[in-house]
Chain A
Amino acid sequence: MLEARALRKAFGRTTALDGVSAEIGEGEIIAITGPSGSGKSTLLHCLAGIIRPEAGEVRLDGRRVDTLDEDDRTRLRRENFGIVFQFGQLVPELSAVENVALPLLFNRHGRRESLRTARSWLERLDTADCADHLPGELSGGQLQRVAVARALAVGPRVVFADEPTGALDSLAGEQVMDTLVGTARESRTTLVIVTHDNRVAAYADREIVLRDGTVAGASTVGTSTAGAPAAGAPAAGGEATT
């Protein structure tokens, strides 16, 4: 469904991506891992149409994404994607429920309906009592669950998460991941997680390991000790089995 071919992107003299290909299927949960500076976030930004690669292509359902102009990519992101960042994505002056309702309002859903939907998402993610609090009054774990609710509320086809637990301790991180992955599976939403935490990567069906801007390896559910693809193999193919 989402496909990247031979992506290349440099920031100044630093090459962030150097010929990365990846293929992501409908409803799959993918982890993009690798050491810091390996190009994980850049790959996510390219896949999500936030930045344009210098070479290579990104396709959603076979349709080129990277060649679209800024307006069309913005519309595409709004209609198809939800995004969760490490921190700081909620507007500090809006209450949790208003933050969740924001993308719905931008999609012209009407005030009542948007707020109702937002509240029901907060309930679903076990954060109903946070609804009327400002982000400054919430814990890190609650903030991230509100952010997850905001990403999911619009019913996206793909949710991108960039180090969603990076600012959290183990238990809070686990709660956020349980919520994110559980809801994604229920609604058959594709989930792409960038992380350097193996325990977060273990939530995914499959991982794409980046090193120095190239794909170093990949692993899939069900691979036994000997069965993993060798280094340098493209990250394509692993079908979700759980």
Chain B
Amino acid sequence: MYSLGEYIECIVAIMSTRHVLLGLLAERPKHGYELKKEHDHHLPGARPLAYGQVYATLQRLERDGFAEVAETAQGGGPERTVYAITDRGGAELARWLEEVEESAPYVVSPLFSRVVVAAVTGGAADGYLLRQRAAHLARMRELTAERRSGSPARALAADYALQHLDADLRWIETAMERLADLRGEIDA
């Protein structure tokens, strides 16, 4: 099932780390360790960013001219290097934020397949749907509790997950009613 972490990973994969780091640099120049900490804070539940990945991404940003080294502290080492966003980087960030996300083809989800198959084979579908509903709702309870106790960033993530689960549930409800109608037609 969907855990909060899994959802966040989806978000992060879509957003791409490059643009997240650019976004964080837009605030002010930062060094690598700072960027990693802020990334993990703003996207809680996501897999923590490996330090190597931060460094590699920063180097790629520098190569593309989106970021530059602003200041290198004595003793060298990447952890002391402070990066700043360039004008080109700012333009790239703006372009990315302007872009519309492609509407995801949700119908290929395993949940959908399972319900359709259950409906086609008949009989067990109703029981399955109720159990699925119970499972979804149990997860939603956890998310609701997390949202109450967590930081604003965590609440955002929990909302995202909750509303998707809610969409699933509402679809399940429609499916149950539709199945009942179908059965009525067959019986008649």
Contact = CB atoms under 8 A, between A and B. Distances in A.
Interface of A: 35, 178, 182, 198-199, 201-205, 207, 209, 211, 216-231, 242
B171 to A, nearest CB: 11
Interface residues of B, number: 27
B141 interface: yes
The binding surface of chain A is classed by DSSP as loop
Q: Which 7 A-B pairs rank lowest in CB-CB distance, beginning with the nearest?
A: A228-B134, A219-B134, A202-B140, A225-B135, A217-B130, A198-B169, A202-B144
A228 B148 contact: no
A203 B126 CA distance: 25
Given A35-B173, A178-B148, A198-B170, A207 B137 contact: yes
B140 A199 contact: yes
A204 B140 CA distance: 10
Contacts of B163: 199
Given A199-B162, A202-B141, A217-B133, A225 B1 contact: yes
Given A198-B166, A222-B138, A228 B143 contact: no
B137 A201 contact: yes
Given A35-B173, A199-B162, A242-B145, A221 B130 contact: no
Given A178-B148, A223-B134, A225-B1, A198 B127 contact: no
The binding surface of chain B is classed by DSSP as helix
Given A199-B144, A219-B133, A230-B130, 13 more contacts: A198-B170, A199-B166, A201-B137, A202-B137, A202-B144, A217-B133, A219-B134, A223-B138, A224-B135, A225-B131, A228-B135, A229-B134, A231-B130
Contacts of A207: 137
A182 to B, nearest CB: 8
B71 interface: no
B17 to A, nearest CB: 30
Contacts of A221: 138, 141
Interface string B109-143: 00000000000000000110011111111101101
